[in-house]
Amino acid sequence: MSLSSRFSCLDDHDPEALAVEQARAYIHSQLRPRLACERVALRSALGRVLARDLIAPCNVPAADNSAMDGYALRHADLDAAGETSLRLVGSAMAGRPYAGVVAAGDCVRIMTGAVPPSGCDTVVMQEVVRVDGERIVIPGGQRRGQNIRLAGEDLALGRPALTAGRLIWPAELGLMASLGFAEVSVFRRLRVAFFSTGDELCSIGTPLADGEVYDSNRYTLFGMLSRMGCELLDLGVVADDPPLLADVFRQAAAAADVVISSGGVSVGEADFVRPLMAELGEVLFWKIAMKPGRPLAFGRIGGAAGNADGGAWLFGLPGNPVAVMVTFYQFVREALYRLMGADPPPVVPLLPAVCEHSLKKLPGRSEYQRGILSQTAGGWRVRPAAAQGSGILRSMVEANCFIVLGHERGPVAAGDVVEVQLFDGLI
């Protein structure tokens, strides 16, 4: 089935004026993970996606143990209402259990993680007891079973500890280590080829000629893709030459699961990327109702090895540096996580904040202004970064969030509540 025929919902919409959420939904509806899996050492699994359910081979904790420092005792020995005096007969440490028998009227000093002696069904925290020579005075009101962690309470033998599709972060590493796993099955890394287009672009380390600018987009793309753990193929800067561009597209599609270009997807005379994409593959080109980042191409191109859908997925991003980052984070990031097999892909939530300044905004498009979020006694407040031009990368450096103004929203007055998307966790 062709890509365009899958997008039946486009029949009722102008593809040159898609809302952000419509475009995002169309992209996500097409993507299925098609990656092989591999076994890796546990520490090498950080940032990868689990390929198979992880079944607990043991209970965690392996045995009942004390949740705190205190005294292990038999609940039946306690006075329900008043104090109870018990004889202290020994101690139990983590890894060194009490070997004796706790008789009626006795108790044992116990440390966090230690196994309660046989017959002891309750632990009383040390802060509430009173020591009276060799006897321990326990206040009334203690509950049977309190402060004892049961075997398998965290992870139960034979039950899934983690399910396939889980992104592996530090907590997941620790959990897998607690079960004794030295290796795990993960999806292979997603292969992403990327390049910039434009005769005006100059590589860093080379003197600028008149009219040239240094190519920054490949470096922001490198940073964003590296943070996601992708396997990268940097194809450099490609001139505005259709045969050369076609060769690069073919090379990228043959080597990668995903191809990302920046620049050349608008409607200028030297914008060759859009027609080449259509010639070499199948593309839905959208002028998305957003600022910055209006031009965006998505589709398939070539025939990447191992891609069951018959080609590499393609994202043609705008050329302006800020627009590259905005479109990557609003469309490409989640799409790549889907292709990696992450289920569900991580989403950075929108949070409310009071806007300190008025903002110009027309209904009918989404806007992603760069903002500076701060916490005050009255709550979270945000102000726009000084420079908002789509070519001013400094705005991304100065800001710590996007101020997200939805499709239907109009102007923002000072004091209005807006939604923000934090860079921390996104960038």
pLDDT of residue 310: 65
pLDDT band at 392, cuts 50/70/90?
confident
Tens digits of residue pLDDT in 16-47: 578 999 999 989 888 988 899 999 999 999 99
Q: What percent of the chain has pLDDT over 90?
A: 69
Asked if residue 269 has pLDDT above 70, the reply is no
- Show Cβ contacts of residue 298 under 8 Å, excluding neighbours closer than 6 positions: 23, 26, 27, 283, 284, 286, 313, 314, 315, 316, 331
Tens digits of residue pLDDT in 207-229: 888 888 889 999 999 999 999 99
Distances 177 to 25, 69, 162, 180 between C-alpha atoms, Å: 37, 25, 12, 5
The token pair at 216 is 């920054």
- Show Cβ contacts of residue 418 under 8 Å, excluding neighbours closer than 6 positions: 352, 353, 354, 355, 359, 382, 403, 404, 405, 412
Asked if residue 110 has pLDDT above 70, the reply is yes
pLDDT of residue 303: 56
- Mean pLDDT within 368-391: 91
Q: What is the pTM of this model?
A: 0.84
- Mean pLDDT within 115-139: 94
Q: What percent of the chain has pLDDT over 70?
A: 92
Tell me the C-alpha distance between 222 and 319, whole Å: 15
CATH homologous superfamily of 38-57+163-187 equals Molybdopterin biosynthesis moea protein, domain 2 (3.90.105.10)
Indicate the residue type of 35: L
**Same fold flag, 3-36+189-340 and 351-422:** no
pLDDT band at 13, cuts 50/70/90?
very low
pLDDT of residue 205: 85
Tens digits of residue pLDDT in 330-374: 999 999 999 999 998 998 899 999 999 999 999 999 999 999 999
pLDDT of residue 287: 82
User: Is the Cβ–Cβ distance between 371 and 385 less than 8 Å?
Assistant: yes
CATH homologous superfamily of 3-36+189-340 equals MoaB/Mog-like domain (3.40.980.10)
The token pair at 314 is 């393609």
pLDDT of residue 261: 93
pLDDT band at 308, cuts 50/70/90?
very low
- Mean pLDDT within 402-424: 96
Give CATH for domain 351-422. 2.40.340.10
Q: Where are the domains of the chain?
A: 3-36+189-340, 38-57+163-187, 65-149, 351-422
pLDDT band at 91, cuts 50/70/90?
very high
User: Is the Cβ–Cβ distance between 339 and 382 less than 8 Å?
Assistant: no
Task: Assign domain 65-149 to its CATH architecture.
Answer: Beta Complex (2.170)
pLDDT of residue 311: 84
- Show Cβ contacts of residue 191 under 8 Å, excluding neighbours closer than 6 positions: 230, 231, 233, 255, 256, 257, 258, 304
pLDDT band at 305, cuts 50/70/90?
very low
Q: Radius of gyration of the chain from Cα atoms?
A: 30
Distances 405 to 81, 292, 383 between C-alpha atoms, Å: 60, 12, 13
Tens digits of residue pLDDT in 60-80: 999 999 999 999 999 999 998
Asked if residue 4 has pLDDT above 80, the reply is no
